[in-house]
Structure 1
Amino acid sequence: MTEYPNLLAPLDLGHATLRNRVLMGSMHTGLEETKDWNRVAEFYAARARGGVGLMVTGGMAPNAEGGVFPGAAGLFNDQDIENHRVVTDRVHEAGGLIAMQVLHAGRYAYSPDCVSASAVKSPISPFPPKELDEEGIQKQLNDIATAAARARKAGYDGVEIMGSEGYFINQFLVRHTNKRTDYWGGSYENRMRVAIEAVKRARAAAGDDFIIICRLSMIDLVPDGSTFDEVLQLAREVEKAGASIINTGIGWHEARIPTIATSVPRAAFAWVTKKLMGKVGIPIVTSNRINTPQVAEQVLADGCADMVSMARPLLADADFVAKAEAGRADRIAPCIACNQACLDHTFSGKISTCLVNPRACHETELLIEKTLDPKRVAVVGAGPAGLSAAITAAQRGHDVTLFDKADRIGGQLNMARVIPGKEEFHGLVEWFETMLADHDVETRLGRAVGEEDLKPFDDVVIASGVLPRDPGIPGQDNENVVSYLDVLSGQAQVGARVAIVGAGGIGFDVAEYLTQERPSPTENLTEWMREWGVTDTAEARSGLAPEGPHPEPSPRQVTLLQRKAERPGKRLGKTTGWIHRAALKMKGVEMVSGVNYDRIDDQGLHVSTGEARENTRLINADTVVLCTGQVSERSLADAMADHGVNVHVIGGADVAAELDAKRAINQGTRVAAAL
């Protein structure tokens, strides 16, 4: 008897049967643009072998003007079809099914040739779109249909027509972007014609025995978006037009409400699709922040959807479904929804991967193979770098001992896991604990490690982390001055007025920690929706509450300061930095840039500006928190250098830039893979 009877149940679509209710949602990884089709094929085949019911590729452009950027991948000619057949053949050999997403970016296309319903510029692109005339609209629709036909010829089992997230079809649907008064604008009946025609023409071009998924925006979260009645009307019409499945999109890319970041509650938008259940006769897929089989099973058991879409969780672990099926869910590498290696890479023009799983999108290059020469390996430091190194080395068959002076594993991850909105880090540390036990890694915790301890080993991996950097501010030894380590470990008493010195990632984390005294809204969907101003689309168009965001007031007055004369938080994650800035702004945090830290006294922090130290100001503070960066802790590594042992320095001990778990885990995995 499976723990997940709903999740693992087959789904009969009539012309195809899915082996379970898991849809791997579309992710633009950048792999297709590499032209390394073996690499692309292995990425998808790994997920097919891992048991996914149906996969959807990253968005493929139907034409040049619809590509998300110049040169974006698509099926434009016979050679493209042959290239993609390498992928579909590999997936089918692995027992999987795969659909190609047809993505027309519309005004989101990063190109001067972008087109849309109206000439309304996007706030996230520098290029104003050209308003399409009748001939131009017909061309876009015909190109979408042609893409569907080519996808079938390339061996795909279906297509997903992207009609959500604010892309081309979505731009026709709402008055926010559709200002037309002709056949394609004005009334909702007119505005939804592009969506209906896209599905109808794709069905005609690809045939009846072909999966057509229509991705609809269920809640736009932008001004002047759709109501629930409009979404329902559209869903019924795309079913008539020939859709096999309706998939869910949540929010536009330009929406100022987080939808997939780690601070969003798990399954936060499942209630949106539940409203549609029973209203149409084809399967409904729910999406967003579903990252464990337990959550997915509950969503299905509650009648919120017929299927669940998971994208990033299948970057984190290609074997997600197989492990759930085998009763080994605790071995599933958890998606922590950090966006650091997936979406941040995508929007920076890099190949996507995963903070937790550096092999994602690197399956053909980063190989974890059994060693023919087992060694005794010591890993010093049980933070993310050391943990990934120890587990990977043990997977390969080495005899691994993990040392740490702390009495528990996790290192700086234990700082992150106490930040409101970062509760997913609890699961990451627990997964590391499970994997250490699963691979028989000997752990020696709670005591310092010396050179003598390491002499018996063939290889030593030093992952001893970082120490707080000394900022050298006069008065920093005052009793009202504490380190971020003291605050996040709960050892420091923090007053009602706080000055935080340093506005990097740690400074922002500390500010969020100090401005949230109640249980985190991430753990309470009702509170989270109130905080960000989200409501039912039956109550307010687009799901935007008329009263706007209503966060709980901060229990403290917080000032966040930095030396750099740039916007605080500028260097945070590309797709999540705005969320942290907005959250602190809602809490009344003052953010100050371009200051000198002159001195600290009993009154607080004295600052000034410029080389001449002008515009002096006192930041009244009961507590001053130092978040002034880190330096590498590599004393043991330096001492070991002359002992004839192979020493590998990784993580913060190697480079002390912020607390970069992405780099640390990647480095630890790669060092161990090469031992």
Structure 2
Amino acid sequence: MAIHDRLLTPLTVGATVLPNRMVMGAMHTRLETLDRPHERLAAFYAARAAGEIGLILSGGFAPNPQGVMEPGGPLLNREEQLDEHRAVTRAVHAAGGKIVLQILHAGRYAKVPECVGPGAAKARINAYAPRALSTEEVRATVADFAATAALAVQAGYDGVEIMGSEGYLINEFTAAVTNARDDEYGGGFEGRIRFPLDIVRAVRARIGREPMLIYRISSIDLVEGGMNGAEIAAFARAVEAAGADLINTGVGWHESAVPTIAACVPRAAWRDAIRNVKEAVSIPVMASNRINTPEVAEELIASGVADLVSMARPLLADPDFAKKTRLGAADEINTCIGCNQACLDRIFTERTATCLVNPRAGREIEFPAGSAPLAKRVAVVGGGPAGMACAINAAERGHAVTLFEADARLGGQLNLAKVVPGKAEFHEMLRYFEVRLKKLGVTLRLGARATADALAGGAFDEIVIATGVTPRVPDFAGVDHPKVLSYVDVLSGKAEAGERVAIIGAGGIGFDVAEYLLGDARESLERGVFFHAWGVDPANASAGGLTQVNGEGAPRRSVHMFQRKAEPLGRGLGKSTGWILKARLRKASVMMTSGATYDAIDDEGLHYRVDGKPHVLAVDHVVLCAGQHSNRTLHDELVARGAKPRLIGGADVAAELDALRAIDQATRLAMIL
């Protein structure tokens, strides 16, 4: 049993004693846009408080209308809004937790026509150009922060966090690249940090000494013209002197060309930038970004990098993270895999956040608690993500579950995903499923192909078919040529691709295969390799913490990707991670051709056409990533016998390898069995 003594040690922050060092970081959820929003938010945060997290940081609330993230975004500037906040704070306090309100002015990132900034330069990630704030407007904004802080305390929050990181308004003032002002809030270093220091002082004056005052600093900007490490350390000392009780550390701007929180970023990659802040101040410092296990969190505190750890997405994945840590059950934590598919990707596409590995996240009021009214004998066929999720959730509701898997091991398509560079966290997902199945006493039938005879004989009250997919084989001459491989052959290690490879199909699987053939698995596991690949200055001595990206020489393979659609390849990739994958493949000189039709594969290579013009690509192998078919053979046999099996996952819809939809569907089905 792992010991996490430091994580579990109480800490005094200002006048508040936190029961442990684990914090739920702030995140946008957009839950306020759904029906029963305040009930949803209260249930969402209360579940994490009941899971014994030491402190909760709310999603960001703007102090004035110009600072909202988007039209109708969270805003706290009137007393009439307090009752909806009291519903949240009362729920958290009733569950034994503490919560602070994050105050966030989006600045030039605000997706509203009236957005503002220290200057008029437009952010490349926003369609709207900001209007430069006048000196009086800057002072008025300081007052707005203080007013919102006072309202937060009035609503029952245990304090506030001032969001000064990630490229939002305050960060835009501190960085020379976005602050060319010639008044008292611009110019040299002292002028650029005046705005946040005025805010901290004003907030402290309004809320008094009792409530916590947290400041989120950018520990490394990762943009040209950002602060360097020495400036950040000096700024942190000034923030402490201005009245902050605790400094939280952010990493990068949203427009940075360096990944900061995706699974391709090594765990705790930003520890040196955080340590720089920690060594500069005497108040507690919180670490953040790519901390997803108690072991990583414990080590950060034990090594003196930080006093607390902030984990946002890991608390989406498992609201009981802290409780399981205390109980010595870290192997039962549903680990965040850093996929971003259900959280950031949904937020960036104007949808509400949830979690791929935990569909209950943000949907707590939709899932009944406790056991099912009637315990049933349930057969689940297929040990991939859908089958395992269904088996676990059904067993949690008191059903007697038998899980059949034709392979000798569980995992299904997860066993393919986990070998792709940057997707090593899928090992954690599989570990959680296996541990949970054992803990719940689910009967496993591995290496046992379920038959219609065995299932339809009355031994089971419910039959769930999660038999997944089979690769689609396109219909043109030569698809049976020895040069042709399936993505399953390649990712399973059954076949080794040659030096010249064509990939047919440019969905998520095609890009995963390209990354598998070209990527460096060390990049997502070793900080030094990651920093070198993305041009990060480990010493943070340069402006923004960036350095020159050097060429790596010729890639070990020549890869050419094709798709039938006449549109740029990769359009369907995740909003927050697709750009990372495309950038890496561009660096590896991958050729990408859209609007292709295929004539044949033969000894010469791949014969294809673009705009009717024929081409031949000499290759050693052609990897087929041309989609999938649902595997419904067993389902159809059961239906023919009069049974009523239920379909989930790829067996229901064969759209890519969609673990997000599969696990959500499986979890919801288990609730109604």
Question: Would the TM-score normalized by the shorter structure come out above 0.5?
Answer: yes
What does residue range 532-611 of structure 1 map to in structure 2 within 5 Å?
A: 532-536=534-538, 538-545=540-547, 547-548=548-549, 550-551=551-552, 553-610=554-611
Specify the alignment match of 1:13 in structure 2. Answer: 13
- The aligned residue for residue 344 of structure 2 is 343
Instruction: Tell me whether 1:640 sits opposite 2:641 in the alignment.
Output: no
Distance 1:223 1:664 in 2: 41
Deviation sequence 1:241-268 (CA, Å, 0-9, x none): 1111110110100001111001110111
Shift of 1:2: 7.2
Contact 1:23 1:307 in 2 (8 A): yes
Superposed displacement of residue 223, structure 1: 0.7
* Partner deviation per Cα, 1:599-654 (whole Å, 9 max, x = no partner): 111122122123xx22x222221111000001111111122124443311000011
**Matches of 2:487 and 2:442 in 1, distance apart?**
31
Question: Could you tell which deviates more after superposition, 597-606 or 164-173?
Answer: 597-606
Partner SS for 1:605: strand
The answer to whether the Cα contact below 8 Å between 1:368 and 1:673 also exists between their aligned partners in 2 is no
Alignment of 1:435-446 (within 5 A): 435-446=436-447
What is the CA deviation profile of residues 151-192 of structure 1, one whole-angstrom value per residue up to 9, with x for unaligned ones? Answer: 000000011110000000001111211121221111011011
Q: Does 1:480 align with 2:480?
A: no
**Which residue of the partner structure matches residue 465 of structure 1?**
468
Give ranges in structure 1 of 5+ residues lacking alignment.
none
Task: Indicate the residue corresponding to 2:421 in structure 1.
Answer: 420
Report what 2:317 is aligned to: 316
Distance apart, 1:532 and its partner CA = 0.9
Q: CA RMSD in A?
A: 1.3
Q: Does the 8 A contact of 2:99 with 2:157 survive in 1?
A: yes
Distance 1:368 1:673 in 2: 9
Structure 1 residue 369: Cα displacement: 2.7
1:262 and 1:338 in contact (8 A); partners too: yes
Residue 69 and residue 519 in structure 1: after superposition, are their counterparts in 2 closer, same or farther (change >3 A)? closer
- Paired AA for residue 428 in structure 1: M
- Contact conserved, 2:229 with 2:273, CA < 8 A, in 1? no
- Work out which of the residue numbers 490, 496, 499 in structure 1 matches 2:499: 496
Alpha-carbon distance in structure 1 between the residues aligned to 2:522 and 2:540: 27
After superposition, residues 28-43 of structure 1 pair within 5 angstroms as 28-34=28-34, 36-43=37-44
Give the Cα separation in 2 of the matches to 1:627 and 1:13: 53
Which residue of the partner structure matches residue 367 of structure 1?
A: 368
Quote the offset at 1:76 in angstroms: 2.6
Is the contact made by 2:275 and 2:306 (CA closer than 8 Å) also made in structure 1? Answer: yes
Deviation at 1:553, TM superposition (A): 4.7
Name 2:25's counterpart in structure 1.
Answer: 25
Q: Which amino acid aligns with 2:343?
A: C
- Which contiguous aligned blocks of 4+ residues in structure 1 show a shift greater than 4 angstroms? 549-553
Query: Which residue is equivalent to 2:90?
Result: 89
Following superposition, the deviation at residue 537 of structure 1 comes to 5.0
Figure out how many residues of one structure are paired with residues of the other and give that number: 670
Instruction: Show CA shifts across 1:213-248 (max 9, x none).
Output: 100111111111101111011111111111111101
Shift of 1:552: 7.0
Residue number among 508, 520, 524 corresponding to 1:505 in the alignment = 508
Amino acid at match of 2:448: R
The alignment's TM-score, normalised by the length of structure 1, stands at 0.97
Which residue number in structure 2 is paired with residue 123 of structure 1? 124
The verdict on how the C-alpha distance between 1:553 and 1:213 changes in structure 2, with shifts beyond 3 A counting, is farther
Q: Any idea what the Cα deviations from partners look like across 1:252-299, whole Å, max 9, x if unmatched?
A: 000011110011101111121112223211111111110000110011
Q: Could you tell me which amino acid in structure 1 is paired with residue 435 of structure 2?
A: T
Matches within 5 A, 1:440-459: 440-455=441-456, 456-459=459-462
Secondary structure, counterpart of 2:277 in structure 1: coil
* Superposition deviation, residue 595 in structure 1: 1.2
- In 1, the alpha carbon distance for the partners of 2:550 and 2:305 equals 26
In 2, the alpha carbon distance for the partners of 1:453 and 1:198 equals: 69
1:284 counterpart residue number: 285
CA contact (8 A) 2:193 2:235 kept: yes
Alpha-carbon separation, structure 1, partners of 2:554 and 2:466: 40
Which has the larger displacement, 34-43 or 190-199? 34-43
- Choose the corresponding residue for 2:619, options 618, 621, 634: 621
What's the counterpart of residue 100 of structure 2?
99
Contact 1:64 1:71 in 2 (8 A): no
Q: Aligned pair in 2 of structure 1 residues 77, 333: CA closer, same or farther (>3 Å)?
A: same
Contact 2:422 2:521 in 1 (8 A): no
Q: Quick check: 2:31–2:362 contact (8 Å CA) kept in 1?
A: yes
In structure 1, distance between residues paired with 2:80 and 2:644: 48
Q: C-alpha distance in 2, partners of 1:589/1:473?
A: 24
SS at 2:67's partner residue? coil
Q: Distance in 2 between matches of 1:290 and 1:250?
A: 13
Deviation digits for residues 519-573 of structure 1, max 9, x if unmatched? 432121111111111113543211111x225557521111111111111111001
Aligned to 2:158: 157
Deviation at 1:78, TM superposition (A): 2.3
Partners in 1 of 2:308 and 2:144 — Cα distance? Answer: 29
- Secondary structure in structure 2 of the residue aligned to 1:180: coil
Deviations 1:287-323 (A, max 9, x none): 1110000110011111111111101000000000000
CA contact (8 A) 2:421 2:516 kept: yes
- Distance in 2, Cα, partners of 1:519 & 1:151: 45
**Match in the other structure for 2:390:** 389
What is the CA distance between 1:656 and its match in structure 2? 0.6
SS in 2 for 1:669: helix
Give the aligned residue type for 1:334. Answer: T
Look up the equivalent residue of 1:345 and give its one-letter code.
R
Distance 1:223 1:618 in 2: 43
Residue 593 of structure 1 deviates from its aligned partner by: 1.3
Q: For the Cα contact (< 8 Å) 1:91–1:97, is it kept in 2?
A: yes
* Consecutive unaligned residues in structure 2, runs of 5 or more: none
Deviation by residue 1:411-469 (Cα, 9 ceiling, x = unmatched):
00000001011000111111111111001111111132211111221110000101111
Provide the TM-score with structure 2 as the length reference.
0.98
Return 227-236 or 332-341, whichever deviates more.
227-236
Range that drifts further, 63-72 or 362-371? 362-371
Deviates most, 188-197 or 72-81: 72-81
Aligned to 2:661: 663
